[in-house]
């Protein structure tokens, strides 16, 4: 099946200080590369999860896809059309087919607008004349299980779960082909989290849209995603079907994330593994494999050489970047544990950029 969304070799860079200040202070890294050559696609109706620690670049990818952030290179194509090639006016029909659910349920809703205005604003933004704004708002509220009289409320009169439903309803307004959900359950009570996930899954079944879901929560991934991409320092280190990622992780970072999952399999070896140290700063990228500073299996080559992507022989859609992927590791046991610890220990020079 052809891809609905195709992202190719995407790179996004942020300035960390102005050029004159960098010159004055002699700083080597006036920028960080938040996203480093990421490529992936999402098929129609499919759910892809982006997973990784805070700061790994997940939201930056999302914001770049919907045009809130510019890439320094790479491309985003939607339904076969590269978005960057289009003028502002030509882009609109494509952007209208994507909608984003932002992280903060209440904070992402404009406090001065009623729910009715929030729900009908997408039509106005895209210049779509509607004869029955009240009917539109009621229909959208009904789709997310909220009563029609919620249309008169303001965001501060909503609970977190209700605000999240309004955010979802707003995202559905223009009947998008792709929804990007950035931490859709963050900040919600556990019971409400389940309701929101079930709602998203039901709407996806009914409406058939693709979903790009961004989350730290592996239980959310397991519940929602067909495929999963694991991010570290702005790169994909492992991508595959969610089942493969959970059952046969090949990258040690994936293994460690799964082990940190609050509901791990009690019999799995993964339970014994801890992810030690902090993620290195994007201003001081480690040499070689960028995960080596925290990897329990790292060997000399991991300090020196950046690993090329490999694929599983029995599943070419399962790819990973590791010199010693799980399942064919030959390191002596004492070497495996030598390198656990705080980040940056073997990275005195540090690198920036990617």
Binding residues for ligand ATP (CB under 6 A): 14, 32, 34, 52, 54-60, 282
State which residue, 64 or 120, has the beta carbon closest to ligand ATP.
64
Neighbours of 265 (CB within 10 A): 13
C-beta neighbour count of 202 within 10 angstroms: 13
Asked if 234 and 354 touch (Cβ cutoff 8 Å), the reply is yes
Q: State how far the Cα of 152 lies from the Cα of 244, in Å rounded to an integer.
A: 46
By CB atoms closer than 10 A (0-12, 13-18, 19+), residue 190 is: exposed
Q: How far is the CB of 204 from ligand ATP (least distance, A)?
A: 22
CB nearer to ligand ATP: give 62 or 339. 62
Nearer to ligand ATP, 42 or 214 (CB): 214
Q: Which of 77, 96, 62, 70 is nearest to 4 (CA)?
A: 77
Pick the closer one to ligand ATP by CB: 55 or 344.
55
- Name 54's Cβ contacts closer than 8 Å, sequence gap at least 6: 216, 279
**CA–CA distance, 161 with 137 (Å, rounded to integer):** 18
Question: What whole-number distance in Å separates Cα of residue 259 and Cα of residue 28?
Answer: 36
Smallest distance from ligand ATP to CB 184, Å: 13
Map tokens 């931490």 to a residue. Answer: 183
Q: How far apart are CA 58 and CA 76, in angstroms?
A: 15
What is the rounded distance in angstroms from the CA atom of residue 97 to the CA atom of residue 33?
28
Minimum Å gap between C-beta 64 and ligand ATP is: 9
Nearer CB in complex with ligand ATP: 81/103 = 103
Q: Shortest gap between Cβ of 145 and ligand ATP (angstroms)?
A: 27
DSSP 17-70: S-HHHHHHHT-S-SEEEEEEEEEEEEETT-EEEEE-STTSSHHHHHHHHTTSS-
Q: CB nearer to ligand ATP: give 57 or 155.
A: 57
Min. distance of Cβ 183 from ligand ATP in angstroms? Answer: 7
Which residue lies nearer to ligand ATP by CB, 32 or 298?
32
229/322 with CB nearer ligand ATP: 229
Would you say 229 and 214 are in contact if contact means Cβ atoms under 8 Å apart? Answer: no
Q: How far is CA 157 from the centre of its chain?
A: 29
User: Whole-number minimum distance, CB 279 to ligand ATP, in Å?
Assistant: 9
CA distances from 82 to 10, 77, 167, 177, 241 (A): 13, 4, 28, 16, 26
Nearest distance in Å: CB 34, ligand ATP? 3
Q: How far is the CB of 346 from ligand ATP (least distance, A)?
A: 22
Contact 233, 35 (CB under 8 A): no
- Least distance (Å) from ligand ATP to the CB of residue 5? 18
**280 vs 325, which CB is nearer to ligand ATP?**
280
């Amino acid at each position: 099946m052809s891809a609905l969304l195709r992202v190719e070799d995407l790179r996004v860079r942020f300035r960390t200080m102005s050029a004159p200040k960098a010159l004055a202070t002699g700083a080597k890294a006036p920028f960080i590369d938040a996203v480093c050559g990421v490529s992936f696609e999402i098929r129609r109706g499919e759910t892809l999860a982006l997973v990784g620690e805070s700061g790994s670049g997940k939201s930056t990818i999302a914001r770049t896809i919907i045009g809130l952030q510019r890439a320094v290179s790479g491309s985003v194509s939607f339904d076969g059309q590269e978005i960057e090639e289009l003028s502002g006016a030509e882009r609109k029909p494509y952007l209208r087919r994507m909608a984003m659910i932002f992280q903060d349920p209440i904070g992402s809703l404009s406090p001065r607008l009623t729910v009715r205005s929030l729900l009908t604003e997408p039509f106005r933004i895209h210049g779509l004349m509607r004869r029955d704004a009240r009917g539109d708002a009621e229909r959208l509220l009904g789709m997310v299980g909220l009563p029609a009289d919620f249309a008169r409320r303001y965001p501060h009169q909503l609970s977190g779960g209700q605000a999240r439903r309004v955010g979802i309803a707003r995202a559905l307004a223009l009947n998008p082909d792709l929804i990007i959900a950035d931490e859709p359950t963050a900040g919600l009570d556990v019971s409400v989290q389940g309701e929101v996930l079930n709602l998203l899954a039901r709407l996806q079944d009914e409406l058939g849209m693709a979903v790009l879901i961004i989350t730290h929560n592996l239980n959310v991934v397991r519940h929602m995603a067909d495929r999963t991409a694991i991010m570290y320092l702005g790169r994909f280190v492992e991508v595959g079907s969610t089942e493969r990622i959970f059952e046969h992780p090949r990258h040690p970072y994936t293994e460690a994330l799964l082990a940190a999952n609050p509901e791990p399999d009690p019999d799995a070896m993964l339970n014994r593994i801890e992810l030690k140290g902090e993620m290195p700063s994007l201003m001081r990228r480690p040499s070689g494999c960028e995960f080596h500073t925290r990897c329990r299996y790292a060997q000399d080559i991991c300090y020196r050489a950046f690993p090329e992507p490999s694929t599983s022989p029995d599943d070419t859609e399962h790819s990973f970047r590791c010199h010693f992927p799980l399942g064919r590791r030959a390191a002596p046991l004492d070497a495996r544990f030598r390198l656990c610890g705080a980040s940056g220990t073997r990275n005195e020079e540090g690198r920036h950029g990617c």
